[in-house]
Copies of this chain bind each other. A is one copy, B any other.
Amino acid sequence: MQQLFQYFKQFSPLTAEAMDAIADICKLLHVAKHTDLQPIGHTCKTIYFLNKGIARIYYYKDGIDITESFAFENDILVRVESLFTGRPSRKAIQVLEDAELVAIDANQLFQLYDRYPEIERLFRKIFEAAHVETVNRIEALQFHTAEERYKALLNEEPNIIQRVPLKYIASYLGITQVSLSRIRSQR
């Protein structure tokens, strides 16, 4: 659990009491690769934090598997559009490498918001940072070529290539597997 609280520290401070309250609603999970942590159609009621391993959020569009995002060590992992609306998600969370993660019960967390404004603030800031990343991602998709997006990804996550099947990376970049292969083979 230290890893999680270390992560929290980047965003805002917590009293010992608030930390205990959070720890009480957390569970440590070990999940084997290829497991769907949360299936399509369920409403997101858990906020995950990845201690170790890789996961992705994916969905099906016209029967084709599309990766919306990846999560790595020390990332928060959540289906925002379901958690914040209370609606079922068309997306699933899949673990790509044997993973260790912390599961935070969202309903219990939201109750803590009432008792601990500092906890509400912490998660506000965590999700604000995620929001900023999402906005930046739009810029990439809107006006960079597939090749530029691929190179930018390599820059941010140099070892994603060794750890994630290329087909997942392709749909994350908004292109087909074949196109990605073509881009990779050019020089």
Contacts and interface: CB of A to CB of B under 8 A. Distances in A.
| Oligomeric state, in copies | 2
Interface of A: 61, 66, 68, 80-81, 84-85, 113, 117, 120-121, 124, 127-132, 134-139, 141-143, 171, 174
A18 B56 CA distance: 41
Nearest to A80: B135
Given A131-B131, A134-B138, 15 more contacts: A68-B138, A80-B128, A80-B132, A81-B135, A84-B128, A85-B132, A124-B124, A127-B128, A127-B131, A130-B131, A131-B134, A134-B134, A134-B135, A141-B174, A143-B174
Nearest to A142: B174
A139 B136 CA distance: 14
B138 A138 contact: yes
Contact of A84 (B80, B121, B131): B131
